Structure 1
Amino acid sequence: MNRLVKTVLLAGAAWGALSASAVAQEASAEPQASTIDDVVVTARRREETLKDVPVAVSAFSSEQLEQKGAADITELTRSAPSLTLQAARGSNSTLISFIRGVGQQDPLWGFEPGVGLYMDDVYIARPQAAVLDIFDIQRIEILRGPQGTLYGRNTIGGAIKYVTKRIDADEPEGQIRASYGSFNQRDVVASAELPFNEKFGISAAVARYLRDGYGTNLNTGNEHYNKDVTAARISAEWTPTDNLFFRLAGDIVQDDSNARHGHRELAPSPASVYDTNAGAGDANRVEAKGLSLTGEWNVNDWLTLKSVTAYRDGRTRGNIDFDNLPAPILDIPARYDDDQLSQEFQAVFGGDRWSGVAGVYYLDATASGAFDTVLGLANLTTLTAGSVDTKSYAIFGDFSYDLTDALSLSVGGRWTHDEKTGTVFRQQYLGIRSPSFGNSAAVPFGAPRTNYTATREFEKFTPRVSVSYKLSPDLTTYVSWGQGFKSGGFDMRGDAVLYPDTVKGYEPETVETWEIGLKGSLFDNRFNFATAIYDSSYEDQQITTQYPAGATVASVVDNVGSSSIRGWEFEGRLRVSDNLSLNGMLSYTDAQFDQFLAYIPTGPLNANCPTLPGCIVDVSDKRDFQNTPEWTGSISATYTHWMANGSSIAFIPSASYRGDYQLFETANPVLDQDAFWMFDASLVWTSADDRLTVGLHGKNLSDEEYRVGGYVFPGALFGDSLIGYYGAPQTVTATVGLKF
C-alpha cells in the first residue's frame, strides 16, 4: 500500500507540475511559435492521432531517428519510458527486451518473449536477428502494458511495432545514405520506389553495415565487438481497384560479426572492457529471412477486411567462451534453428460513434538447437539438444463506442490456445566437445541425463476495458484495466538427474494491469504530452536460473510466485519557437517480488536443505527484478537555423539517464550496473529542396562504460567465470544522404 501511495503522490505531483508549467508557458510563449503536427499511429490497428489513443504508446518517425543518427532499435532505450532494448549477452543481433519490468531474460530456443515484436503486422517469434537496424521505415511504435486484445501473441509487457514504408511516389525515386565513423565504421543504405503505373509498384532497400571491433581478442588477434551485417527488403504492391490492396514483401538479415565473448571481470582480466582472451573461436553467423502477403479489402465505408500470411525462418551458428581464457575451461559452441508460419485475419470497422477490430490468429512454429558445455579441466562435455513445436490459436477483438461526444468505452478480449511439444536430450561425453560439434572420438559418459518428449496445452481468456474522457478537444484522460498471458513450456536445458520435475515443464505467467493516463496538447498545440500511472500484478513469472552442479551447468525454470510493479511515466514535446523544440521523458518503476519460490539444489548453495536433489524456498527478500532501473529519463533539444538560400542546419543535443539495475535477479556487486548518464549530439545540414543532407553524430560523448549483460559461474572447475558485456563506447559518425 505504501508503494501505491508513493506512486500516486508522484503522479499527482507530475499532474500539478504539468498544470503549473502550462500556465507559465502560456503567459510567456512567443505569439509566433509554431504548432506541433499530430502524430498518426496504428496502435489500435486503425489510424488515430497519438494524443487520442487511450494506450501508453511512444512513436518515433523515420525523420526523428535519422536526425539523431539512430543505428538500431536498441537506441530507443534512451528515448522511451520504462524500456530496455539491448543485444543479448554473447550476441550482436539477438534482442533482449523489457517494458515495465516484463520481458524475456533468456534467448534460448523454446523460450518466448514477454514483449511482442512486430514487423508491420507480422509477429517475430524468436529474438535471434531481432536487433533490427533502422532503415526504410515509416515509424516505430512502443506500446506499454498488456496488448493481447489488439495483437495476437505474447504482449504481456507490451509491443514494439516496426512499420516499414509503403510506396507513395508517383514516379520513380530513390535515396542513398553513406556513413563513415569511429572504429572504421562504413555504412551504406540505398532504397528505391518504382511505381510502374497507378496500380502496381515495387520498392527495395539494401543496407550494408561494417565496423571494426571496439576491442580485440588478444588470444586470436581477431576483432571483438565488430559489426558485419547485410540486410535487404523488397516489396511489390498492387491496387487492382480502389477497394483492393495487396502487398508481397520479403526481407533478409545476415550477421557475420565475430562472436562476442565479453570481458573477464576477475583476474586475469584485460585492461580494456572490450578485449578478451577467449579461445573458443570467433566464428559466428546469424541469418533470418521472411516472406509475407498482406491483402486489404475495403468492403464499404465502415468495414475493411485484412489478411496477413507470413513465413519466417532463422539460423544461428556461434561460440561463447564463458571463461574468457585461451584454454577450453568453460566453452559453449551452439546452433539455433527456427521457423514459423502465421496467418491472421482482421476485420477493422468504424462508424460515426463506434470503431473496433476483431481477428483470428494462427501460428505454427518450431524452435530447435543444440549446444555443448565444455569443461576442459574435467575433460568432460555435456551436450544439450532439443526442440519445441508450437501451435497457437487465438481469437481477439477490441470495440470502442462513444457514449457521448466526450465519453468513450472500449471493451476487448483475447482467447488463446497453445499446444507445445518439447523434446529435450542431455548427454555427457568424455572429451573436449561432443560428436555434434566435431569431436567424433568423444565417448558417452553414462546414460543420458535427460531424454524425453512431452506435450502440454495451455488456454486462457484475457479481457481489457478502458474508459476515456475528453476534457477538451485537445486533452484526453483514460482509465484502463487489462490482463496479459504467456503460455508455459519446457526447459531446454533441464537436467532430469538433478531436477526430475523438469519433464513436467513450467506453467504460464499472467499480468493484470490498471492504468490511469492523461494525454493531449496545450498552448495552441505547441506542447504535446502523455503521462500515466500504472499498477501491475505479475503472477507465476517464468525465471531461468543456471548454476554450477558437479561437472556440469544445471538449469531450472521456476514459476516464482507473484510480484508487484507500479510506476509513473511522462513524455512530452514543446515547440518553444519556430527554431527550437524540446523533447523529454521520465519514468519511475517500483518492481518488487512478493513471493519468489526458487528451486535450490542441495549443497553449499542451500545448507538447510539436506535431502536430494533440492528444495523449493521463498527467497523473495533476496531477489530483485533484472534490467529494470527505478528511474529513467532523457531530454533533448532541436535548434534549427534556416539559411538565406533556404537550406537549414539543425543542432540536436541530448542527455539520457538510467538508474542502477541488476543483470540478474540475484545481486552481484561486480556485475550490477550503477546509475549513469549518456550524452549524444547531432549536427545536420539539409538542402533547400530536402534532397541532400549532411550529418555529424556523436554517441556516448562522455565515453561511459556500462554493462548490458553478464554470466556468473563461480568455482575453479568453471574458471571462476564472471563475464561482463558492455554497451558501445564513444563514437562519432559522419553521414551524407541523397534523394533522387
Structure 2
Amino acid sequence: MSHRHLAMAIAVALSAATHTAHAAPAPASNARAGDAAASARDPARKSATTSVTNLETVKVTARRYEETLQDVPIAVTALTARALTDDNVQNLSDLQGLVPNLQIGPTQGTSSTLTVYLRGIGQNNPLWGFDPEVGLYFDGVYIARPQGALLDVFDVDRIEVLRGPQGTLYGKNTVGGAINYISKPLPTHATGSVTATLGMHATKDLKVDYGNASKDGVWRFRVAAASLHHGGYGHNLYLGGPTSNQDVNAARVTLGYFPSARFDAQLALDGEFDRSAPPGGAQLAVIPFDPAQTQGLPSRYDTRSDQAPVNTTDSGGGALTLRWLLGEDWTLKSISAYRSSNSNMNIDVDTLPVSIADNNLVYHSHQFSQELQALYDNGSDLHGVVGVYWFDGYAEGINKYALLALPPYQQLGYSLYVGSGGSVDTRSLAAYADTTWRFAPRWSLEAGARYTHESKTAIIQNDTYPNANFATPNGVQADFAGSTAANNLSPKLTLGWKASAAVNLYATASTGFHSGGYNIQANCTAIPASCRPIKNETLLNYELGAKMSFFGGRLMLNSALFHALYHDIQLSVYTSYVQPNGQRGFFGDFTNAGKATIDGLENEFAWRMGDRWTLSGNLSYLHPRYTQYLSGGVNIASTSKFTFAPKWNGGLTLWKHFPLRAGGDVAARLNVTYQTLAYFDQNYSPVLAQGAYGLVNAGVIWRTGGPWTYSLEGSNLANKRYRTSGYNIIALGMITGYYGPPRMITASARYKF
C-alpha cells in the first residue's frame, strides 16, 4: 500500500465514521472488540448496565487504570471470563482467530514455550537471553522468558490483547503489543467452582477454585488448581509412547489484607509443571543425508524419533501488590515480583531413528522486578499515571546438538557435535508518565513518554566435541564475555474526539523498542560478525481508530488503520559455513534486517440481533514489506517476506440462545476462522509454508439457572490439517513441520457454589 493509497484509506475511514456520528446513543461494549473511559472510583461511570438486547460492558486496565472498553484509544481486544469459557479458550493459543492480526501458539518442538506475533512482529527463537517482541503480563508482572509462558486459562477474570507498540506504559519488548492475563479478584464471601472435562484423545481435565473472606472482609484468600491431561495425537513408532500429549498441573494462591478502604496488600503465588511428551514433527521432505532415504509418515503427529521423550518445564513465581489511596485524587501502587523457570527439552528435528539433527536444550531463568506507580484522577478532565520500573533478570542454558552423527558421516569426519552454553544478565531501569487531558467536552489529548536504560552482560562458551558424550571439547566456536547498553525514549501522543455519544475517534503516534544483546549460539570462528552485539529494534506507529455503537448499543464496530516504520529488525536465521573438512555446517544466527514498513487494517464487530441471536467477528489486513535488508552487501528487501504474517485473517461467531421456562438457557455457537498464506522461516520455503485455510468450531452450553453448567465443545470439526511452525535447514536439506490439533470434542460439567 503506497503512502498515497494509505492516506486515501484513512480519509475514507474517518469520513464514514463521522457520517455515522449521530446514529446511536452511548454503546455498551463487547468482550471482543473495544474500550471506554471510566475512572475506577467514579460511581457514575461504574453503574453501566446492560439490557437483554445490549452487549456486555467490559472493564479493562490497558492504560494501567480501570476504564470501560469502548472509549480507550487503543486497538485492544478484551475477553471476559465468560467469553473465554463460551469461546472454549483453554490456553493462550486458542486466542488465534478471536483477535485481529494475532498469531500465537507453542514454539516448534515444544508444548509450553510461547511464540506470539502481533501485526507481523514477533520472535520465533526462544533461546535464553533473547526477549520476545510481544510482552506478556501476568497480573501486572512482565514475564521475560517464553518457556512456560503458554499459559493455561483457569481462574481468569479477563485477557486483554493490546495491538501496536506499547513502549510508553509497558516498556521494552512490546514493539508488537502486549498481552495482559488477569486473574479473578479476591472475593468478599465464600465462592468457588469445580469443572470436570472428558473428551477425545483421552482428555481428562479438572479445574477447581475456592475463595473466602473473614466476616469483616479484612482477610481474603483464593486458591485455584488445574490438572490437564490428554493422551496425545500421535505415537513414537520407534520408541513407543505418545506424542503431542498434555500432562500439566498448575496452582495459584492469593492472600489479601484489606484493613481499610484506603490500603490493601495482596500476595500471589503460582506454579505450573509440564510433563507433556514432545510434539510430533512431520517430515516434509526426504533428507539427502539419510542413508535409507526414508519417506515421511502419513500422520502429521507420528514420529520415529530416537531421542528420549523429554519435554519438561517448571515455571512460577510470586508477587506482592500494595495499594494506597491518598486523598480523593491519588492512588499509589507497588508491585514486587519474582519469577523463575526451568526446562529440559529434546527436539529431534529429523524425526528419524538416526542422528541427523538432534538437540537437547536445558534452560534456567529467574527475574526480579519492582514497579512503583502513582495514579491520578480528578474525576473530571485529567487522569494519568507516573511510575518507575526496575528489572533484574538472569538466563542461562546449554544447547547440545549433534549433526550427521551416524555412519557413514562419522567415518568421513563430517559429524558435528556442538555445545552452546552461556548466560545473559539483564538489568533495566525505566521511568514513565502518561496523562490524558479532556480539554473540551468532546476532545481529549493523551501524552506520555518512557525512558529506559538497559544493560546486558553475556558469557558465551560454544565448543565442538568429538562425540555425543559432550565430555571434552576439541574445538572452540565462541569463548567471550561481552556487555552492551541501550538508552531509549519511547513517547506517545493521542488525540481523541468524541464525535457523538456513540462514536469515538482517535489518532495516535506511538513508539516501542526491543532490546538487542548477544547471540548465544554465535560462531566467532566461522562468522566473526555473529559475535558482535545485535542492534536494538525500534518502531514508530501511526494509527487512526474508530469505536462506534449503533441501535441503542446493540451493534458495535471498532476499526484501526495503521502505518508503522520498523527499524533494525532482529531476525533469527540459520547461517551456513564451510568446515575445515569441506563439509557445510550451520548455526542459529541473528541478524538485523534494516528497515520495513507495515500497513494494516483491523475491524471487530458484535451485533446483538435480538433476544436470541448474536453475531460477532473480526477481519484484518496486513501488508508488511522490507525496504532495506542487506545480506552480503546486497539489498534483498524485494525478495524477502515477513514470517507469521498472513495478509488476511479473521473469524465469525454466531450464537443462538434458547431461554428455558424452568429457568436458565441453552446457547449454541458456530465459529469459523480463516487466514491466508503464512511463512514460518526466513528461507520462505513453500513446502513449510501454510497456505490459506479455515477452521470450523462449535459448542452448546446449558446453564441450568442453578449451580450447574454443562457444555459440549468441538474444535477443528472438519479435522483440517494445518501447520503452525517448523524448521527449514537448507544445509541439511531438512524440512520439518509442526501441526495444530486435530478434531477435538469434549464435554464439561461445572458446579458453582
Query: Could you say which TM-score interval applies, normalised by the shorter chain?
Result: over 0.9
Task: Give secondary structure in 2 for the equivalent of 1:364.
Answer: strand
**Residues 705-739 of structure 1 deviation map (CA, whole Å, 9 limit, x = unaligned):** 11111111235xx4x32100001111101011110
Task: Give secondary structure in 2 for the equivalent of 1:403.
Answer: strand
**Distance in 2 (alpha carbons) for counterparts of 1:40 and 1:33:** 19
> Would the alpha carbon gap of residues 245 and 99 (structure 1) be closer, same or farther in structure 2, given more than 3 Å must change?
same
1:311 equivalent among 335, 338, 345: 338
State the AA in 2 paired with 1:335. V
| CA-CA distance at 1:216 after TM superposition | 0.8
Please name the residue that 2:199 is paired with. Answer: 181
Q: Which structure 2 residues correspond to residues 478-627 of structure 1 after superposition, within 5 A?
A: 478-549=506-577, 550=579, 552-598=585-631, 615-627=632-644
State the AA in 2 paired with 1:244. F
**Residues 446-477 of structure 1 deviation map (CA, whole Å, 9 limit, x = unaligned):** 3x110000111110111100000101122110
| CA-CA distance at 1:47 after TM superposition | 1.1
**Distance in 2 (alpha carbons) for counterparts of 1:49 and 1:474:** 14
**Distance in 2 (alpha carbons) for counterparts of 1:37 and 1:692:** 22
**Distance in 2 (alpha carbons) for counterparts of 1:104 and 1:299:** 41
**Residues 83-103 of structure 1 deviation map (CA, whole Å, 9 limit, x = unaligned):** 111110011001111111111
Alignment TM-score, normalising by the size of structure 2 = 0.91
Please name the residue that 2:214 is paired with. Answer: 196
Question: Is the 1:509–1:539 Cα contact (8 Å) retained in structure 2?
Answer: yes
**Distance in 1 (alpha carbons) for counterparts of 2:4 and 2:649:** 20
| CA-CA distance at 1:529 after TM superposition | 2.1
Task: Give secondary structure in 2 for the equivalent of 1:75.
Answer: helix
**Distance in 1 (alpha carbons) for counterparts of 2:104 and 2:65:** 26
Task: Give secondary structure in 2 for the equivalent of 1:179.
Answer: strand
| CA-CA distance at 1:547 after TM superposition | 3.3
2:658 equivalent among 618, 641, 649: 641
| CA-CA distance at 1:5 after TM superposition | 4.1
Please name the residue that 2:742 is paired with. Answer: 729
**Residues 556-595 of structure 1 deviation map (CA, whole Å, 9 limit, x = unaligned):** 3111110000011110111110111111101000000101
**Distance in 2 (alpha carbons) for counterparts of 1:679 and 1:362:** 45
State the AA in 1 paired with 2:285. L
Question: Is the 1:81–1:632 Cα contact (8 Å) retained in structure 2?
Answer: yes
- Structure 1 position 444 matched with structure 2 position 473: yes
Please name the residue that 1:610 is paired with. Answer: none
| CA-CA distance at 1:16 after TM superposition | 7.3
Question: Is the 1:120–1:164 Cα contact (8 Å) retained in structure 2?
Answer: yes
1:215 equivalent among 234, 252, 260: 234
| CA-CA distance at 1:119 after TM superposition | 0.5
**Distance in 2 (alpha carbons) for counterparts of 1:724 and 1:420:** 34
| CA-CA distance at 1:15 after TM superposition | 6.7
**Distance in 1 (alpha carbons) for counterparts of 2:576 and 2:308:** 23
Q: Which structure 2 residues correspond to residues 125-144 of structure 1 after superposition, within 5 A?
A: 125-144=144-163
**Distance in 1 (alpha carbons) for counterparts of 2:9 and 2:226:** 44
Please name the residue that 1:155 is paired with. Answer: 174
Please name the residue that 1:697 is paired with. Answer: 713
**Distance in 1 (alpha carbons) for counterparts of 2:433 and 2:484:** 26
**Distance in 1 (alpha carbons) for counterparts of 2:17 and 2:175:** 30
Task: Give secondary structure in 2 for the equivalent of 1:51.
Answer: helix
Please name the residue that 2:47 is paired with. Answer: none
> Would the alpha carbon gap of residues 628 and 409 (structure 1) be closer, same or farther in structure 2, given more than 3 Å must change?
same
**Distance in 2 (alpha carbons) for counterparts of 1:25 and 1:394:** 43
Task: Give secondary structure in 2 for the equivalent of 1:69.
Answer: coil
1:711 equivalent among 720, 723, 727: 727
The unaligned stretches of length 5 or more in structure 1 are 27-31, 436-442, 599-614
Task: Give secondary structure in 2 for the equivalent of 1:332.
Answer: strand
Please name the residue that 1:602 is paired with. Answer: none
> Would the alpha carbon gap of residues 678 and 20 (structure 1) be closer, same or farther in structure 2, given more than 3 Å must change?
farther
| CA-CA distance at 1:68 after TM superposition | 2.0
Question: Is the 1:694–1:737 Cα contact (8 Å) retained in structure 2?
Answer: yes
Task: Give secondary structure in 1 for the equivalent of 2:552.
Answer: coil
Question: Is the 1:8–1:533 Cα contact (8 Å) retained in structure 2?
Answer: no
**Distance in 2 (alpha carbons) for counterparts of 1:583 and 1:367:** 42
| CA-CA distance at 1:525 after TM superposition | 0.9
The unaligned stretches of length 5 or more in structure 2 are 26-50, 287-294
- Structure 1 position 384 matched with structure 2 position 384: no
- Structure 1 position 400 matched with structure 2 position 436: yes
- Structure 1 position 51 matched with structure 2 position 70: yes
> Would the alpha carbon gap of residues 311 and 39 (structure 1) be closer, same or farther in structure 2, given more than 3 Å must change?
same
Please name the residue that 2:449 is paired with. Answer: 413
- Structure 1 position 336 matched with structure 2 position 363: yes
State the AA in 1 paired with 2:736. I
Alignment TM-score, normalising by the size of structure 1 = 0.93
> Would the alpha carbon gap of residues 233 and 131 (structure 1) be closer, same or farther in structure 2, given more than 3 Å must change?
same
**Residues 330-352 of structure 1 deviation map (CA, whole Å, 9 limit, x = unaligned):** 10011011000000000111112
Question: Is the 1:137–1:164 Cα contact (8 Å) retained in structure 2?
Answer: yes
Alignment coverage as a number of residue pairs:
705
| CA-CA distance at 1:415 after TM superposition | 0.3
> Would the alpha carbon gap of residues 179 and 33 (structure 1) be closer, same or farther in structure 2, given more than 3 Å must change?
closer
**Residues 509-552 of structure 1 deviation map (CA, whole Å, 9 limit, x = unaligned):** 10000000000311111112210100000000011111343464
**Distance in 2 (alpha carbons) for counterparts of 1:174 and 1:249:** 18
Please name the residue that 2:668 is paired with. Answer: 651
**Distance in 2 (alpha carbons) for counterparts of 1:236 and 1:169:** 12
**Distance in 2 (alpha carbons) for counterparts of 1:203 and 1:242:** 20
- Structure 1 position 231 matched with structure 2 position 256: no
**Distance in 2 (alpha carbons) for counterparts of 1:209 and 1:4:** 49
**Distance in 1 (alpha carbons) for counterparts of 2:239 and 2:585:** 27
Task: Give secondary structure in 2 for the equivalent of 1:257.
Answer: coil
**Distance in 1 (alpha carbons) for counterparts of 2:22 and 2:486:** 53
- Structure 1 position 3 matched with structure 2 position 8: no
> Would the alpha carbon gap of residues 481 and 15 (structure 1) be closer, same or farther in structure 2, given more than 3 Å must change?
closer
Question: Is the 1:692–1:739 Cα contact (8 Å) retained in structure 2?
Answer: yes
**Distance in 1 (alpha carbons) for counterparts of 2:576 and 2:151:** 34
**Distance in 2 (alpha carbons) for counterparts of 1:3 and 1:137:** 42
**Distance in 2 (alpha carbons) for counterparts of 1:185 and 1:14:** 46
**Distance in 1 (alpha carbons) for counterparts of 2:626 and 2:147:** 29
**Residues 26-72 of structure 1 deviation map (CA, whole Å, 9 limit, x = unaligned):** 9xxxxx97122321111111111111101111100110111122111
**Distance in 2 (alpha carbons) for counterparts of 1:8 and 1:589:** 16
Please name the residue that 1:321 is paired with. Answer: 348
**Distance in 2 (alpha carbons) for counterparts of 1:626 and 1:258:** 27
Please name the residue that 2:285 is paired with. Answer: 266
**Distance in 2 (alpha carbons) for counterparts of 1:318 and 1:498:** 27
**Residues 110-156 of structure 1 deviation map (CA, whole Å, 9 limit, x = unaligned):** 11111110001100000011111110000000001111211133211
| CA-CA distance at 1:503 after TM superposition | 2.7
Please name the residue that 1:612 is paired with. Answer: none
Task: Give secondary structure in 1 for the equivalent of 2:721.
Answer: coil
**Distance in 2 (alpha carbons) for counterparts of 1:579 and 1:335:** 52
| CA-CA distance at 1:209 after TM superposition | 0.6
Q: Identity of paired residues, percent?
A: 33
Question: Is the 1:565–1:589 Cα contact (8 Å) retained in structure 2?
Answer: yes
| CA-CA distance at 1:7 after TM superposition | 4.3
